[in-house]
C-alpha cells in the first residue's frame, strides 16, 4: 500500500509539472508573438524627401547631397527642412521601429501625421502633428512638446533609437535600444488618420557623411 501511495503521489506530481510547463510555454509563446507583432519593417518614402535627401537603392538609408536633385515637386515633399517620411503609415495598433544614428550630430526623429505641413520652415510640436525628439548641436537630447522643450538626460549618446507607437492609447515612446532604456513618451495624444515615421537632418549636420539607417529590430520583450 505504501509503494502504491508513493507511485500515485509521484504520478500526480509529474502531471502537475507537465501542466505547469505547458502553461508557461503557452504564456511565453503568446507574449513572444505579441511582441513580434509590434515589429515593423520600414523604408523611406522618396516622394516626401527634400531634394537634397539621397536614399539608398533599398530606401532604408538616408543621407544628403551637396546639390539640389531634379525631383518632381508635389504637396507631400519637404522643400525647406531636410526631412523624409517613412513609406508606411499606421492608423491603428502598436508598431515599433528602430533607426541607426551612429555619427549623426544633429537631427529630429519621431512621427508625424499624413496631413502635416511639409512646405516652408516647420515649427515642430504636437500641435502641428509632429511628435519628435531632437539631438541638438550641443549634444543635448530634447523632446519638443507644446510651447516648450523637455531635456532628456542621457549618460552616453545612443547609437540606435527605437520608437513605439500605441495608436489607440495615444502614445509615442522613444528608447535607446542599445542600452534598452526608455528616453521619453508623448502621452494623451489624439491621433486622426495615418501616422508616419519622420526623420529630419539639422542644417548643421546636413553634410555629415554618415547616413541614418532604418534597421530591423531585434528582441522587443524588454519594452515596457
CATH of the domain at 62: 2.60.120.920
Average model confidence (pLDDT) for the chain?
Answer: 84
Of 151, 153, 130, residue with least CA distance to 81: 130
Cβ 221 vs Cβ 31: under 8 Å: yes
- Domain assignment present for residue 223? The answer is no
Q: What is the pTM of this model?
A: 0.81
Q: How confident is the model at residue 210 (pLDDT cuts 50, 70, 90)?
A: confident
pLDDT in the model for residue 74: 94
Cβ neighbours, 10 Å, residue 183: 20
Same domain, yes or no: 25 and 53? no
Same domain, yes or no: 137 and 66? yes
Query: Taking residues 27-39, what's their average pLDDT?
Result: 46
Q: CA 185: distance to chain centroid?
A: 11
Q: What stretches of the chain show up as alpha helix (H) in DSSP?
A: 2-36
Same domain, yes or no: 21 and 84? no
The boundaries of the domain holding residue 30 are 1-39
As for how many domains the chain has, the answer is 2
- Domain assignment present for residue 35? The answer is yes
Same domain, yes or no: 68 and 158? yes
Same domain, yes or no: 136 and 112? yes
Amino acid at each position: 500500500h505504501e509503494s502504491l501511495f508513493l507511485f500515485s503521489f509521484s504520478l500526480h506530481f509529474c502531471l502537475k509539472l507537465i501542466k505547469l510547463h505547458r502553461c508557461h510555454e503557452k504564456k511565453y509563446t503568446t507574449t513572444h508573438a505579441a511582441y513580434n507583432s509590434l515589429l515593423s519593417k520600414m523604408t523611406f518614402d522618396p516622394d516626401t524627401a527634400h531634394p537634397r535627401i539621397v536614399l539608398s537603392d533599398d530606401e532604408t538609408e538616408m543621407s544628403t547631397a551637396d546639390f539640389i536633385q531634379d525631383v518632381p515637386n508635389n504637396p507631400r515633399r519637404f522643400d525647406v527642412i531636410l526631412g523624409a517620411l517613412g513609406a508606411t503609415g499606421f492608423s491603428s495598433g502598436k508598431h515599433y521601429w528602430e533607426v541607426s544614428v551612429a555619427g549623426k550630430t544633429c537631427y529630429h526623429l519621431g512621427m508625424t501625421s499624413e496631413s502635416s505641413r511639409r512646405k516652408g520652415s516647420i515649427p515642430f510640436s504636437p500641435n502641428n502633428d509632429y511628435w519628435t525628439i531632437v539631438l541638438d548641436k550641443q549634444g543635448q537630447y530634447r523632446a519638443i512638446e507644446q510651447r516648450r522643450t523637455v531635456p532628456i538626460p542621457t549618460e552616453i549618446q545612443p547609437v540606435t533609437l527605437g520608437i513605439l507607437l500605441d495608436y489607440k492609447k495615444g502614445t509615442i515612446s522613444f528608447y535607446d535600444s542599445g542600452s534598452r532604456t526608455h528616453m521619453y513618451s508623448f502621452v494623451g495624444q489624439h491621433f486622426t488618420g495615418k501616422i508616419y515615421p519622420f526623420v529630419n537632418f539639422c542644417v548643421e549636420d546636413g553634410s555629415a557623411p554618415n547616413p541614418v539607417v532604418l534597421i530591423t529590430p531585434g528582441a522587443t520583450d524588454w519594452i515596457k
